[in-house]
Amino acid sequence: MRYVIASLLSYLAFAAPAIAASGVWEPTPEACAAPAEFETPGKTFPQLALATRHDIPLEFLAVGSGTTVGQDGGGGRAFPFRMIEVLRAALPEHEIHLTIRGARGLTAEQMVTLMQQELKEKRFAMVLWQTGAVEAARGSPPEELRSTLAAGIAAVRAAGSDMVLIDPQYNRFLSNKVNLLPYLQVLKQASDLPDVALFRRYDLIKYWVDGGRHDLEQVKKSDQEAAVDALHTCLGLVLAHFVARGAGLPVPMPVASP
């Protein structure tokens, strides 16, 4: 059982971009195209909107595991950083900062502790919380994830920040080994709260893979670095649209709908 868990956790880190990778993959509308449902939060982000109206620096906190922080923990090419790059280009008049906290294999409970520490130190307009994959890989009870999400959401609410949950990344290997559905449902139910949004990363990547795009499991080893970079760039672009629309901000670079 320990070997299976270790294999799953190692595979989850596969899609974490390498910071030292050379070159930058440039997105195209066709490569990153996604239905509007993935770019539209269905919620508003009042704290982010308020910060832009009053010309306050836009402070983002991203908390997560390997795919959020990057392989070395620096996050430089992980999707939250790519989101920030897009927002900076779209909003050059605003000062935008990103704090990334987390580590490969970190549980949701451990992330809550990190989140609480950061929220005590700084005022964030928005918190992005990617979680659920580690709990699924370890077979933790979904109810434990539910209670942990409640604690984290309460901390973000108390700090007066907007909240975006990000669900696990889709891949066939993980889906064939564990039942992700209960964990996805817990995250979806948490986002039913009026002030919590869910960025459906799992469904978005599955949509791309089903359409023959960003399928990391079908990429040659020599092309994996570029493929991972492409995936994170597109995730960051769609997430930037998601965030901008919820805050009533100018939507960055257009993404063609299929």
Tell me, yes or no, whether 116 lies in a domain. yes
- The predicted-structure confidence for 148-185, as pLDDT tens digits, reads as follows 999 999 999 999 999 999 999 998 877 788 899 999 99
Tell me, yes or no, whether 13 lies in a domain. yes
Residue 226: its pLDDT value, please?
Answer: 85
Encoding tokens for residue 26? 């440039």
For residue 190, what is the domain's CATH number?
A: 3.40.50.1110
- The predicted-structure confidence for 81-115, as pLDDT tens digits, reads as follows 999 999 999 999 999 999 999 999 999 999 999 99
Encoding tokens for residue 43? 């919620």
Query: Which among 53, 7, 24 has a CA at the least distance from the CA of 171?
Result: 7
CA dihedral 233, 235, 239, 240 (to 10 degrees): 10
Domain count, the chain: 1
CA dihedral 85, 62, 248, 89 (to 10 degrees): -10
Residues 6+ away with beta carbon under 8 Å from 37: none
Three-class DSSP labels, 72-141: CCCCCCCHHHHHHHHHHHHCCCCCEEEEEEECCCCCHHHHHHHHHHHHHHCCCCEEEEECCHHHHHHCCC
Q: Which segments of the chain have a pLDDT < 70?
A: 1-29, 71-76, 253-258
**Across-strand partners of 64?**
102
Q: Are 137 and 5 in contact (CB under 8 A)?
A: yes
Tell me, yes or no, whether 253 lies in a domain. no
Tell me, yes or no, whether 256 lies in a domain. no
Rounded CA-CA distance 62/99 in Å is: 6
Tell me, yes or no, whether 258 lies in a domain. no
**Across-strand partners of 127?**
61, 163
Phi and psi torsions of 56, nearest 5°: -90, 140
Query: Alpha-carbon torsion 201, 192, 180, 168, what sign?
Result: positive
Tell me, yes or no, whether 150 lies in a domain. yes
Residue 2: its pLDDT value, please?
Answer: 46
Query: Which among 151, 227, 225, 150 has a CA at the least distance from the CA of 193?
Result: 150
Tell me, yes or no, whether 175 lies in a domain. yes
Three-class DSSP labels, 119-135: HHHCCCCEEEEECCHHH
Give the domain range for residue 93. Answer: 2-19+37-247
Residue 16: its pLDDT value, please?
Answer: 58
Regarding pTM above 0.95, the answer is no
Tell me, yes or no, whether 28 lies in a domain. no
